Amino acid sequence: MKKNKLGLFLLLGAALLSAQEKRMLTLDEAVALGIQNSKNLQIDQQKILDALANVVDAKNGMLPTLKVSGSALALANANVDLKMLPSGQGGGAPKAHSAFFGNVSASLPLFAGGRVQYGIQSAKFLVEAAKLSTQNDQMAMAYTVSQAYNNLFKAHQAIKVLEENLMASKKRDESFQKLENNGIVAKNDRLKANLQTSDVELQLLDAQNSASIANINMDLMLGLPETTMIETDPNYITALADPDSKTITYYMEQATSNRRDLQAFDYQKKAAALGTKAAKAEHWPSIALTGGYIAADVPNILTVTNAANIGIGVQYNVDNLWKKNSSLLKAQSKERQIELGQELLYDQIKLEVNRDFQNSQFAQKRIGVYEKAAAQANENYRVVNNKYNNGLATITELLDADTAQISANVNVINAKADAMLAYRKLLQSSGL
């Protein structure tokens, strides 16, 4: 019985440990997991396969076609008049009650005005466009993961600061309780200190709640079990590069050269241009090498074998002479739409790069301001604390100084994390 209980406790312990699995992830590792498990990117891969299937379909237009058909027919009182019979021949005409036919036909395209070649090349261009669109979505996914990672990091760092301050606040409460018991501190002052502790506890609960939500969001985004507790890299904000050394011109040049969505438009334009050429080629006839074999058998009347044939087949839609080429009009319209779409995207890219460059510069400057404010808040708390110990400051002034110190230290961490994210956003909009 004791062994069974021990085994049950071990199983429960193992279940609890597995339910709260912890995993340390750097930002790069998180981005790699996010790209690997993204459902949107998996859909993009299927779009690439779909585009490749269109290439195969276009190439099939160059291959010969081979068709086989056969029929077995029952005839009802068919009248047969064989003209080749000599006149005056006695006897009635033979009766046909059934007929059998077989046909094999083959065709090899020789000329179609270039439509087949245009279709193949156009399909290849669209494959490249699909691949570039996928790469662009990967970059967008990388930034989305970076955003989520940044939020989780800030929540974790806020928890650390608040936990340290809560411990100090509780120790201060214990000291105030002893001073009150000895009649040195008024009860009202002790209650103010307790209220400050309660406020820190509420802030800590809020930070823990934010961290839990951010953690679940990361788990779902990275394809991890929802019970996985992600630990962020403590060196995350120390890896921040300084974008001040590069100008906005540099980032604009990089965006023009590296933005995958802009490059995808180039391939779409090439494919559309070929679509226009293919539509114009509809005015040309189609020429093919044809061949076949025919066999027929009408019992008692006719048997045909070894009827092989070969020749040249020409097909031309005469109504092209008076009908407007609607396919050409559609192709030209699509070509123009793509050109305008590319111009619109380029304008958006200029706006994005300029905006993200300014935001990155602003985020860098905020760090210095917040660090200066934190140093002032820490020094102010030290001075007020000394004054309070010497009876020169009130408990309200001390608690206010402590609150300002907590807020200032959290702001420094948040400013550094936000600067890291702003710089990554600049890299994303620049195609880097």
Question: For 309-327, how does the pLDDT look when each residue is reduced to its tens digit (9 = 90+)?
Answer: 888 888 888 777 777 888 8
pLDDT in tens, 339-367: 898 889 899 999 999 999 999 889 888 98
What is this structure's pTM? Answer: 0.75
How many Cα atoms occupy the beta-carbon half-sphere of 84 within 13 Å? 2
Residue 349 CB contacts under 8 Å (≥ 6 apart), including other chains = 255, 256, 259, 262, 429
With a cut of 50, say whether residue 180 has pLDDT above it: yes
How far is 158 from 344, CA to CA, in rounded Å?
42
For the domain spanning 22-73+96-316+326-429, the CATH number is 1.20.1600.10
C-alpha of 331 from chain center:
29
Give percent above pLDDT 70 in the chain: 90
Beta-strand relationship, 302-315 and 286-298: antiparallel
Q: Which residue ranges make up each domain of the chain? A: 22-73+96-316+326-429
